[in-house]
Structure 1
């Protein structure tokens, strides 16, 4: 008996409330249902059901497994249906950093959904890399190097962390010529990147005493655009403002090397057609973004 079959039997037991009821529902013998449950409990290493006065009920371990089992079975059924049909259906859960997700992933996903009306997509924006299994993620857009975990990754471009200020600020305070001169300037610091108030450059680290600290990028950019100090966003976050002259780029010679923007999958094995189609679509759309070209 395969493991998908074991999960189907387990869910049937919970829904029927008894081994015999599950056997009737599945048109199997009661002993085969009993053996399937015993094999699954042995594999899990915990009792999954307990008998009450009238019926079987899931233990805490059984309830946790039931939630996961229903998702696995639903994905399996969706994948099988997709193989037999030209129409993609089912649900995908995709994560991306806040700003990049809003500005670039969302428009691409809207276009993708227009092509596949039977599909559903849930977008989860977070600047922390969410765990695929813990958060039920199918596909991720990630900025920066990845740990060597065996995940599947395709680079769509790269971005650079840049130092910027408004012309108004620079007219009043002047532009720093070296990173060390930042100590005499007003700094707008994004505390969402960590608690260490410092900026690293190619060959030095500058300790900061921020004039203003905020925990998200839009607030930091608002203060910088208002002429309140110098900020350090990623290049794609200020590409339009740099092009228009609303912000100016500083200390270019000291910038760190660019970092990759990548589409990431936990594995390429047994990829449902809907996930393959979404991956290929995002790969094409994101790779064409001018903001991910060499800056």
Structure 2
């Protein structure tokens, strides 16, 4: 490892092309700089400076040494910062996994506010679907999960609170056969038509499916937005978040249908492992406990205004 003075010497010679000018830049006598340069060559047993030309230059070996030393110095500075960061209670990294039903753009103001803390914590945000969200926390692929559905499973050290309740509406395209039926739709009437479902991202189980009647054909799609688009185009039927399709219902691009078996609202959860509670995690939990933010995340925005 080179000292800061040695690294500065290499940079000065590379940029000025002269021992005298390098000495002037460093505020040292030319003889001192010349002696330091020869000591470096002796230390590495390599020719680092090409003195044959009018302009002093680093040899390929000298250039490599300067570049690698600069990189190592930067890495050391970063490591020192990370050690101090963790020692002060901030995590090195926080991995947040949200259920796909939580829209990322609604979380962006929170990310901006977190960045303003200048904590140095690296954020990683990914999403899972249904069982995959709880599974990410259980398997160590998340430090914090947001918007998980269903009751919290048995996970060692699990801590959680309710984020809010999401309301659903059974909706079909106005061109779909179910749109013409009168009265609440029965189970039999719904089963006769294909359902559109968002595919569960669980890696270790078959996964869950909401709103699918036994024996009903299904079309699995990758996201809630895709599900809304598929139902709008008559590719199938199913339950959709009321707030997110408000404009489609108003314009008649989707039709709300009453059902004989209404769907109960879903409780969405925030969860984490109690044995990992650094300052970044605590900050995020405080934000998510704010009613205004929680309501915005759960209700979402009208996706098709």
Q: Is this a same-fold pair by TM over 0.5?
A: yes
Residue 121 of structure 1 corresponds to which residue in structure 2? Answer: 123
SS of aligned partner of 2:114? helix
Give 1:158 shift.
Answer: 1.1
Residue 207 of structure 1 corresponds to which residue in structure 2? Answer: 215
SS of aligned partner of 1:265? strand
Unaligned runs of 5+ in 1: 1-73, 83-87
Residue 111 of structure 2 corresponds to which residue in structure 1? Answer: 110
Does residue 135 in structure 1 map to residue 140 in structure 2?
A: yes
Residue 179 of structure 1 corresponds to which residue in structure 2? Answer: 187
Q: Distance in 2 between matches of 1:174 and 1:133?
A: 45
Going from structure 1 to structure 2, the CA distance change for 1:81 and 1:192 (only over 3 Å counts) comes to same
Instruction: Figure out how many residues of one structure are paired with residues of the other and give that number.
Output: 208
Q: Which of residues 71, 83, 88 in structure 2 aligns to 1:81? A: 88
Residue 16 of structure 2 corresponds to which residue in structure 1? Answer: none
Q: Deviations over 1:193-234 (max 9, x none)?
A: 46899946xxxx553134x44354333321211234322334
CA contact (8 A) 2:197 2:210 kept: no
Give 1:270 shift.
Answer: 5.9
Give 1:123 shift.
Answer: 0.3
Q: Distance in 1 between matches of 2:149 and 2:240?
A: 13
Q: Which of residues 176, 187, 192 in structure 1 aligns to 2:199? A: 192
Q: Distance in 2 between matches of 1:223 and 1:270?
A: 40
Unaligned runs of 5+ in 2: 1-80, 201-205, 301-305
Going from structure 1 to structure 2, the CA distance change for 1:232 and 1:187 (only over 3 Å counts) comes to farther
Q: Distance in 1 between matches of 2:287 and 2:210?
A: 38
SS of aligned partner of 1:96? strand
Q: Distance in 2 between matches of 1:248 and 1:208?
A: 21
Residue 224 of structure 1 corresponds to which residue in structure 2? Answer: 231
Q: Distance in 2 between matches of 1:124 and 1:281?
A: 19
Residue 287 of structure 2 corresponds to which residue in structure 1? Answer: 281
Give 1:242 shift.
Answer: 4.0
Q: Distance in 2 between matches of 1:197 and 1:136?
A: 22
Going from structure 1 to structure 2, the CA distance change for 1:112 and 1:232 (only over 3 Å counts) comes to same
Q: Which of residues 153, 174, 191 in structure 2 aligns to 1:167? A: 174
Going from structure 1 to structure 2, the CA distance change for 1:96 and 1:243 (only over 3 Å counts) comes to farther
Aligned pairs for 1:263-278 within 5 A? 263-267=270-274, 269=275, 271-278=277-284
Give 1:124 shift.
Answer: 1.5
Give 1:164 shift.
Answer: 1.0
Greater C-alpha Rg? 2
Going from structure 1 to structure 2, the CA distance change for 1:89 and 1:264 (only over 3 Å counts) comes to closer
Q: Distance in 2 between matches of 1:97 and 1:253?
A: 29
Residue 23 of structure 1 corresponds to which residue in structure 2? Answer: none
